[in-house]
Amino acid sequence: MSKEGLCGLDKKIDNKSSVSGGGGDEFIKKITDKNNKLNTLYFINGKVKYLPIILFQNEKRYVYKLYESKYDLENGKYRIISCENNNSACELYESDTWVVIQATPEPSIDFEVLKNLNGKSTFEKAVATKVDVVIDRNSPFEVKSSKAYFQSSTGKKLKSYLVKGDKITLLNFSESRCFVEYTNPKNKSIDGYISCQDLNIFN
């Protein structure tokens, strides 16, 4: 699990307080549910070359966590990559970076590192490295068809669909169907089954 935090809880925190209840519980549940849904065996068994996990998306940018090898996954080594939409120029952060999500008034994201100064811990803005994301090597998995319809658990085509270029997290898959999660520009996530042929996962 990456270091993720949620701001905007409107809750005063002191030594006797805990971040729970309301938005805090909802956010923690969202992270836990996502981790429980994500079956990484397909990556460990070499079905895909790398593992990108979408963490955030809004109208301006998307952010994902990247495991580049089985070794990285087993040892908790990953990178955080933040890209502007429709632009291959991105910012890379190492795994000591905290991803801080602001839920209100509009979804936004910051990147910070925890520093220890004179015996006190404090957060500072993380320094990024500029990188270019390469399609099919370290970019998020995407829809490649003009429309990719969600399917019911029995395989029936539903009315809802994703479109070409939509970025997804691959949660699991069988021979023909992929279980995916999609995060929209309002940073709201949905999951469901889609035909694997509609995705660029194995290309």
**What pLDDT, on a 0 to 100 scale, did the predictor assign at position 22?**
45
**What pLDDT, on a 0 to 100 scale, did the predictor assign at position 135?**
65
Residue 168 lies in a domain: yes
Q: Beta-strand (E) ranges in 103-174?
A: 108-117, 120-125, 129-132, 141-142, 147-151, 157-163, 167-173
Could you give the 3-state DSSP secondary structure of residue 196? helix
Using one digit for the tens of pLDDT, what is the confidence trace for 20-29?
344 445 555 5
**What pLDDT, on a 0 to 100 scale, did the predictor assign at position 19?**
39
Instruction: Tell me if 38 sits within 8 A of 64, measured CB to CB.
Output: no
Residue 129 lies in a domain: yes
Residue 203 lies in a domain: no
Residue 151 lies in a domain: yes
Q: How many CB atoms lie within 10 A of CB 36?
A: 9
**Residue 51 carries which side chain, given as an amino acid letter?**
L
User: Rounded CA gap, 139 and 52, in Å?
Assistant: 7
**Residue 99 carries which side chain, given as an amino acid letter?**
V
What phi and psi, each to the nearest 5 degrees, are found at residue 44?
A: -60, -35
Would you give the DSSP letter of residue 20? -
Could you give the 3-state DSSP secondary structure of residue 39? coil
Which domain range does residue 79 map to? Answer: 4-10+18-198
Regions of the chain where pLDDT drops below 50: 1, 7-24
Using one digit for the tens of pLDDT, what is the confidence trace for 100-147?
988 878 889 999 999 888 888 899 999 999 988 776 678 999 999 999
123 forms bridges with which residues in the sheet?
114
Count of structural domains within the chain: 1
